[in-house]
Amino acid sequence: MDGLTDGPADSGMGPLVQKLFDGRDDRLPYLTHQQNQVRRGEFRERVAKKAEMLAGCGIGPGSTVGLLIPPSFTQIEVALALWRLDAQVMLFDFRLKPAEVWALCTSCRPQFMIRADSHGQTVFGFRPEYEVVVESRSDGRPATTEHRLVQFSSGSTGQPKVIGRTARSLAAEVERFAKVPGMPGEGDRLLLLSSTAHSFGLIGGLLHSLAAGVCVVFARRVSARDILRTAVDHKITAVFGVPMHYELLAAAADPPELPELRTAVSGGEVMPPDVAARFADRFGVPVGESYGTTETGVVAMDASGMLRPSVGRPVPGVVIRVHEGELDVALDDSPYLFESGGARYADGWLHTRDRATVDPTGAIRVHGRADSLVVIGGLKVDLTEIENVLREHPAVEQAVLVHEGVTEAYVSVAAGVSVAAGDERPSAEELLRWCRERLADYKLPRVIRVLDSLPRTANGKLIRQAATLQKATLQEVATGVTGA
């Protein structure tokens, strides 16, 4: 693990991939799905062969390549092969619709697109292997910077931003994860539920595991039954996921014992304390927190789950400040490509736009988005506070507040409550009474929409765009199941 950042800053991704493989015994398992297991040495050879094939397609140092493959052994193999060639990998989430991919390609202009050939079949559940199709794009352009990983922000509050990471920044983040107490190490079996197209799953899950000798295990489907069966069958010692996964598992009926499990970490968005408490009560393991951004990578982490409501202390090498009530992270250069970042980076600081405080021990507490503060009648209202009050209602699973002229609340019903099945669910009037008993009148939402489920981004984050929420409401109205 030591020495990933040694050497010239511009040494590129090829040497980094070599170091990730060389750090541990080739005989250790790296990837597992059901009965399929690939050891490190075998995977190293597969990556080398794939790199040779891609080089034959004209891909080399500085080539720009869009990667659109579902989570799989193939996705990881192709990404590492491209990096071995020192190409720039633009990592698309496979769940994006064609129009969304087209819009991103219009600004990024990759020279190549590599897709999974599913032979026209709908992708459902995890598959370890895919055939791939390499397409050359006539309007593509080569990389003009040293960025070798390009990702896109979730778009939960608006248009996704285009974010670049260099080989050196990726190596530094892998080393930071390695220094966090409680991270999985050699011999551990990590059940990875987080998306491998997003930072926590990709870097904290896949790349750190490759460096540390961890075996990464994938479940067949994202269902409580399949996840728990995988955990039992493979004697899982650690789980990485997003709050949605822990909600799912905490609601499982008659869950099995998981005696080997000792670490569970949530990333992507701040874990609701009640979900963490339910999971810990069911499985006897506290849920830790990994807080970061696509731009910075991991910022703070508490794998133990003992520091909630904080998200942990800054990981080694990360410098933060709280400026005007918001958390900033020091970065040497702007991570934004194609001028997509606006004013988010200035004077060496990345403005996360998260409201935060730091306690005397250095632990960071995140209080919600800065844009969750609105002014109503001259008074400041924190939409996060209203969301939390709604989530305390026993029949509510999630809540999202938006404010465009008036405050609108969108709530999803708790697990097991379904109008389609004839179940009772709270009316808007009931939820308004609930809020009125707990909030000042000026904080009350003017409209409450009750839905079976709330729209989420591809990586599981709740969407906070009014237009998307309104569209979801209309869709449920069309089926005759929504309440207002």
Q: List own/partner pairs for 469-477 with CB under 8 A and 24 or more apart.
A: 469/400, 469/402, 469/408, 469/410, 472/410, 473/410, 473/449, 476/451, 476/452
- Model pLDDT, residue 347: 93
Average pLDDT on 457-474 reads 83
Q: Whole-model pTM?
A: 0.83
- Model pLDDT, residue 356: 95
Average pLDDT on 420-444 reads 82
Measured CA to CA in angstroms, residue 269 lies from 245, 276, 293, 366 at distances of 12, 13, 9, 10
pLDDT beyond 90 at 48: yes
Alpha-carbon span 81 to 83, nearest angstrom: 5
Residue 152: band (very low, low, confident or very high) from pLDDT cuts 50, 70, 90: confident
- Model pLDDT, residue 153: 76
State pLDDT tens for residues 274-310.
899 999 999 999 999 999 999 999 999 999 999 999 9
Give me 289's structure tokens. Answer: 């927190």
- Model pLDDT, residue 303: 96
- Model pLDDT, residue 12: 85
Residue 159: band (very low, low, confident or very high) from pLDDT cuts 50, 70, 90: low
Mean pLDDT computed over every residue of the chain: 90
pLDDT beyond 60 at 472: yes
State pLDDT tens for residues 20-31.
999 999 999 999
Among the residue ranges 32-41, 343-352, 412-421, 470-479, the one predicted with the least confidence is 412-421
- Domains of the chain and CATH, by start: 13-364 (3.40.50.12780), 377-479 (3.30.300.30)
pLDDT beyond 90 at 225: yes
